[in-house]
């Protein structure tokens, strides 16, 4: 059975050796109390309860041939400043985007300027997906249900203030993701339900110079089993082929990470396979980034089939047929969130566990 979403993490996070992997994984560093955090090129950015941004700055990666200290500064902040299980912000260009008090908001990464309210109808507790294209930002978000008997829907905000409906009539959205495909973006929306979970996809393009969104047709590309309120969709692109990833039950006795190969164009019955987990897991963070010229994914899974077994974050390469076996980056009792960002010489991983926000630098093997 899945571990309850409120299970508390253990007292410490243990790094796992990675002697034969594709990457050098450095030692975790304790950055701040647990809170909404995202890895970015400059370090780890966190959102406070008062909607301010704080940055744990990153220094240059080590050149050592063995795992070294992660060069991210620790922040002297109080636990009550952060919502420990909040979603990390989406970062695009000079801005961070998140949901606050039922609103889609953004703020400059350097903390300057006023908080901008972009939309008043965002569903509290959901994650925003954001990208930047040709100087125009695009943010996809889950909007509140328009009526008590209707499901929440997905919408997009484009620089300049225009909003677009992305969910077709009769459908819903519980989690959204965006990934770049050439000059376009692939939008994904998970319609989480207890009986089945359809995955919707459609192409988006920001019209050059117009700050208008060109919205392609909606296509259900895959239908999974029942899902939980914490189930989220993640996306990645390898070459010109898009992939979707969701940790979900495969059947009544099996659970794992579904990897759906959407390809160049969304189509019905996209091929899917599962990375099996030894047990269920309620909150299962998944994040992707390009590392050392390879498309990579980090995901949380139970370490054993034993109920309430410690969890582990796994870093795996996305190949033409799906994910590699991967390497264990770190272990803890439970992970609330994780994000991955490309940096010069590798990547930066940020995650929340053990009531704290942590950072791990990942380096290319030389």
Q: Is the pLDDT of residue 11 over 70?
A: no
Within-domain flag for 254:
yes
How many structural domains compose the chain?
2
Within-domain flag for 322:
no
Within-domain flag for 300:
no
- With tokens 């973006």, the residue in question is 185
pLDDT tier at 271 (50, 70, 90 boundaries)?
very high
CB atoms within 10 A of CB 229: 13
User: Phi first, then psi: what are they for 21, rounded to 5°?
Assistant: -80, 180
What is the mean predicted confidence (pLDDT) over 222-226? Answer: 95
Whether 189 and 116 map to the same domain: the answer is yes
Whether 97 and 40 map to the same domain: the answer is no
Domain residues for the domain of 348 are 1-87+328-366
pLDDT score, position 243: 98
36-79 confidence digits (pLDDT tens): 999 999 999 999 999 999 999 999 999 999 999 999 999 999 99
Whether 244 and 97 map to the same domain: the answer is yes
Whether 110 and 26 map to the same domain: the answer is no
pLDDT tier at 282 (50, 70, 90 boundaries)?
confident
pLDDT tier at 14 (50, 70, 90 boundaries)?
low
Whether 36 and 58 map to the same domain: the answer is yes
* CA gyration radius, the chain: 19
Decide: 89 and 360 in contact? Cβ < 8 Å.
no
Whether 103 and 19 map to the same domain: the answer is no
Whether 42 and 81 map to the same domain: the answer is yes
Whether 58 and 102 map to the same domain: the answer is no
Within-domain flag for 170:
yes
CB atoms within 10 A of CB 61: 21
Residue of 316, 311, 328, 305 lying closest to 17 (CA atoms):
328
User: Phi first, then psi: what are they for 44, rounded to 5°?
Assistant: -120, 120
Whether 78 and 107 map to the same domain: the answer is no
Q: Report pTM.
A: 0.93
What is the mean predicted confidence (pLDDT) over 322-337? Answer: 94
Q: Is the pLDDT of residue 194 over 90?
A: no
80-114 confidence digits (pLDDT tens): 999 999 999 999 999 999 999 999 999 999 988 99
Whether 70 and 117 map to the same domain: the answer is no
Whether 273 and 344 map to the same domain: the answer is no
Whether 264 and 239 map to the same domain: the answer is yes
More confident residue, 344 or 15: 344
- What the block records as the tokens of 94 is 């000079």
The mean pLDDT value of the chain amounts to 92
């Amino acid at each position: 059975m899945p571990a309850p979403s409120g299970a508390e993490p253990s007292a410490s996070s243990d790094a796992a050796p990675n002697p034969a992997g594709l990457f050098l994984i450095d030692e975790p560093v304790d950055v701040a109390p647990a809170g909404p955090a995202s890895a970015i090129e400059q370090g780890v950015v966190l959102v406070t309860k008062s909607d301010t941004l704080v940055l744990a700055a990153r220094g240059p990666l080590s050149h050592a041939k063995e795992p070294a200290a992660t060069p991210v500064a620790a922040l002297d902040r109080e636990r009550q400043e952060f919502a420990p299980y909040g979603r990390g912000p989406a970062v695009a260009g000079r801005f961070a985007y998140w949901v606050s008090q039922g609103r889609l908001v953004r703020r400059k990464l350097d903390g300057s300027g006023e908080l901008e309210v972009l939309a008043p109808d965002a569903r509290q507790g959901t994650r925003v997906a954001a990208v930047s294209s040709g100087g125009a930002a695009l943010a996809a978000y889950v909007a509140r249900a328009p009526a008590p008997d209707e499901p929440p829907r997905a919408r997009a905000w484009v620089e300049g203030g225009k909003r677009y409906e992305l969910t077709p009539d009769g459908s819903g959205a519980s989690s959204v993701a965006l990934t770049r495909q050439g000059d376009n973006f692939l939008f994904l929306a998970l319609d989480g339900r207890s009986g089945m979970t359809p995955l919707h996809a459609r192409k988006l393009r920001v019209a050059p110079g117009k700050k208008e969104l060109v919205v392609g047709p909606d296509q259900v590309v895959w239908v999974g089993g029942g899902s939980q309120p914490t189930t989220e969709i993640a996306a990645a692109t390898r070459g010109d082929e898009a992939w979707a990833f969701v940790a979900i039950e495969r059947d009544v006795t099996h659970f794992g990470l579904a990897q759906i190969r959407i390809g160049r164009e969304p189509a019905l019955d996209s091929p899917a396979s599962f990375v099996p987990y030894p047990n269920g897991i309620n909150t299962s963070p998944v994040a992707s980034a390009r590392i050392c010229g390879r498309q990579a994914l980090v995901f949380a899974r139970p370490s054993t089939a034993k109920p309430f077994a410690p969890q582990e974050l796994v870093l795996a390469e996305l190949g033409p047929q799906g994910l590699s076996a991967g390497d264990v980056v770190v272990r803890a009792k439970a992970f609330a969130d994780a994000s991955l960002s490309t940096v010069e010489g590798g990547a930066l991983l940020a995650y929340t566990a053990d009531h704290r926000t942590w950072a791990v630098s990942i380096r290319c093997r030389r």
